[in-house]
Homo-oligomer: A and B are copies of this chain.
Amino acid sequence: MRSRPRLIDVARDAGVSPATVSRAVSQPELLAAATLALVQASARKLGYVPDGAAQALASGRTMTVAAVMPTLDSIIFAKALQSMQVALSAVGYQLLVASHEYSVGAEAEAVRLLLARGIDGLILVGAERPEATNTLLRQANVPVVLTWCPDGVNASVTVDNALAGRLAAEHLIRLGHRRIGMVCGHLLFNDRQRARLEGVRAALAEAGLDLPDWRISHQPMTISGGRNGCSALLECADRPTALIGGIDLFALGSIAEAQARGLCVPSDLSVVGIDDTEMASQVSPSLTSVHIPTAQIGEMAALTLLGRIRHAEPPADRLLPINLIVRRSSTVPPAADALQRSSET
């Protein structure tokens, strides 16, 4: 029993040169129809499968791109990954994944390994990274597409995270809330959360409100994080009448925590999320949230990257629209608070 047949075996069988077989595989349009059919018949007969490593070495193309995400098991990134994968596999590209758990060093290391292994393009999340990593990327001369945040150098597919925060805050302000808290992810190596927080802060400032540190709770990005954050914010004096979750998970956790404490959402506490994941519309009360087109980010990132790889398109930034989806978790502040507020003024 022989090992896997190689290109030359097919060539021999079909009575053509290796070059012809190679063309049959990668540029069939160059061959006469008859020759092509002949080669394909031999290939099928022998069960020929081209060797990817050899193709990669000889052609310089690996037909593989990589995505380095903070984590793979977040609904958001998983969804983006899924749409990337679909877009890529549709044109024969493979997707390599890595995660860094919000560690700058881990990201740099992942990028290094990926570049060594050989990739045709790279998708990263966020714009914040040490200059060393950027240098590495530049030297490797590999097309890069950034997602969620632009950096002005690489191509990017983003949303305006500050606007997301702003939309959430403005909605609450418009409803009459004046004490608004925020449950927010750690800001280290997370420019998305930082931008959202700044958007909230800016909107509040414009309304003459402020967002003191003690009304911001930084939490790990899980539902429990949301619960704990809500818990912390509700326990301080002068408790907020509304909460913004830096991600839906926080908002969902906050609703759960508020309910567990016997508070009614939204009448006792309004909650607004950012992301608009599937859960948002399904929980009770349904969650008001800023819709972020996550899947579209993934797909567009993949397509943009393919454009850069295959047609050498120059870097370009695409900003996807976002919008507030008002549901049941937000309403006017409690009457007691309205009174208290007016007496304060």
Residues of chain A touching chain B, judged by Cβ–Cβ distance below 8 Å, are 4, 47, 49-54, 56-57, 62-64, 66, 71-75, 78-79, 81-82, 85-86, 89, 92, 94-99, 110, 112-118, 139-140, 222-224, 227, 252-253, 256, 259-260, 278-279, 282-284
A116 CA / B224 CA spacing, docked (Å): 43
Residue in contact with A95 in the complex, picked from B50, B71, B96, CB distance below 8 Å:
B96
29 contacts between A and B (CB under 8 A): A49-B116, A50-B116, A52-B56, A52-B62, A53-B62, A53-B118, A63-B117, A66-B94, A71-B82, A72-B81, A72-B82, A72-B85, A73-B75, A73-B78, A73-B82, A78-B78, A81-B97, A86-B99, A94-B96, A94-B113, A94-B114, A95-B96, A95-B97, A96-B96, A223-B279, A227-B282, A256-B282, A256-B283, A283-B283
Residue in contact with A110 in the complex, picked from B4, B78, B89, CB distance below 8 Å:
B89
Residue of B nearest to A86 (CB): B99
Minimal beta-carbon separation of A309 from chain B (angstroms): 16
Give the number of times this chain occurs in the complex, counting copies: 2
Which B residues lie within 8 Å of A115 (CB)? 49
Residue in contact with A113 in the complex, picked from B92, B110, B259, B283, CB distance below 8 Å:
B92
A49 CA / B116 CA spacing, docked (Å): 6
A252 CA / B115 CA spacing, docked (Å): 42
> Which of A47, A78, A99: most chain B CB closer than 10 A?
A78
Q: Are A47 and B89 neighbours in the complex by a CB distance under 8 Å?
A: no
Given contacts A53-B53, A85-B98, list 14 more A-B pairs with CB under 8 A: A49-B115, A49-B140, A52-B56, A53-B57, A56-B56, A73-B81, A75-B75, A94-B96, A95-B97, A95-B98, A253-B282, A259-B284, A279-B279, A283-B283
